[in-house]
Amino acid sequence: MKIHLINPNTTATMTQTAAAAATQVAAAGTQIIANQPADGPVSIEGYYDEAFAVPEMLQEIRKHNDCDGHIVACFDDTGVDAARCVANGPVIGICEAGCIAAGTIANRFSIVTTLSRSVPALHHLIQRYGAERRCASIRASDIPVLELEKQEQQAMQTIENECLAAINNDGAEAIVLGCAGMTHLASMLSDKFSLPVVDGVSAAVKQIEGLVSMNLTSSRVNGYRKPVVKKYNGKFAKYAVNDQGE
């Protein structure tokens, strides 16, 4: 099985972090093919960046449409709905996958993410996924995405504080890490706080492996129907699908 992991921002080191996490949990026989677009924002921080990460991310998915499934490795689940329309195999984002895993091992969980500006977008996702009652809180550490790679020490302390507050004040029984750049922290935090800490990238690998094993892919009834052939004008003409909706 080949799983395509697309990091929707253009920072290759984040792709590598996510790919490493993905590879670690992949089943024997699963190959992780990870990449990122050449064009677009170096990190996705808020609604505006999200909009510009999607077009080239979708192109990468079309290019990798021979893969059995796709992971969108950004916690905003950027462009997942559009990806489901054009991908042949199933597609999942790491927020949805992380919340699914946490929801099967804990009555309530909290998300610890990077920036406050991303919290409203996560609230919308949580609501859409029906996880309002399971998600005890969404806490921002206010560490910019790309800083996660650098000043480990200070960032770690801030993240730990938010985890602690989630456990003590919000009733969290598990933590979901709210950024693809945090994947490497899961086991350390789990040991420290003696509760499950879920990395969305790992969770997404297992969801896609599962769907592919069951021969399940996005329904072509209504919402995720393949895009129809139509005119895309100007510089965006390259994004129009052909008459197989591909």
* Binding residues among 153-172 for its own copies as defined by CB under 8 A: 167, 171-172
Q: Which whole-number Å values give the CA distances from 141 to 43, 148, 193, in the listed order?
A: 16, 11, 17
Q: Which is nearer to its own copies, 39 or 66 (CB)?
A: 39
Residues with Cβ < 8 Å from 98, sequence gap 6 or more? Answer: 75, 111, 176, 177, 178, 198, 199, 200, 203, 204
Q: Which is nearer to its own copies, 153 or 224 (CB)?
A: 224
CA distance 33 to 58: 15
Length of the chain: 246
Task: Based on the shown chain and the rule CB under 8 A, indicate whether residue 16 belongs to the binding site for its own copies.
Answer: no
Q: Residues 62, 43: contact at Cβ < 8 Å?
A: no
CB 243, min distance to its own copies, A? 15
160 in helix, strand or coil? helix
Tokens of 17: 């972090």
Task: Based on the shown chain and the rule CB under 8 A, indicate whether residue 42 belongs to the binding site for its own copies.
Answer: yes
Q: Which is nearer to its own copies, 18 or 153 (CB)?
A: 18
Question: Which of 73, 84, 110, 162 is close enough to bind its own copies by CB under 8 A?
Answer: 84
Task: Based on the shown chain and the rule CB under 8 A, indicate whether residue 7 belongs to the binding site for its own copies.
Answer: no
Region near its own copies per CB under 8 A, out of 79-87, 155-163, 177-185: 79-87
Task: Based on the shown chain and the rule CB under 8 A, indicate whether residue 92 belongs to the binding site for its own copies.
Answer: yes
Tokens of 170: 């919000």
Question: Which of 215, 242, 243, 244 is close enough to bind its own copies by CB under 8 A?
Answer: 215
Q: Which is nearer to its own copies, 138 or 155 (CB)?
A: 138
Task: Based on the shown chain and the rule CB under 8 A, indicate whether residue 107 belongs to the binding site for its own copies.
Answer: yes
CB 19, min distance to its own copies, A? 16
Task: Based on the shown chain and the rule CB under 8 A, indicate whether residue 114 belongs to the binding site for its own copies.
Answer: no
Task: Based on the shown chain and the rule CB under 8 A, indicate whether residue 242 belongs to the binding site for its own copies.
Answer: no
Q: For 29-43, b where at least 16 C-beta lie within 10 A, e where not — what string? A: ebebebebbeebbeb
Of 183, 175, 239, the residue nearest 71 (C-alpha): 183
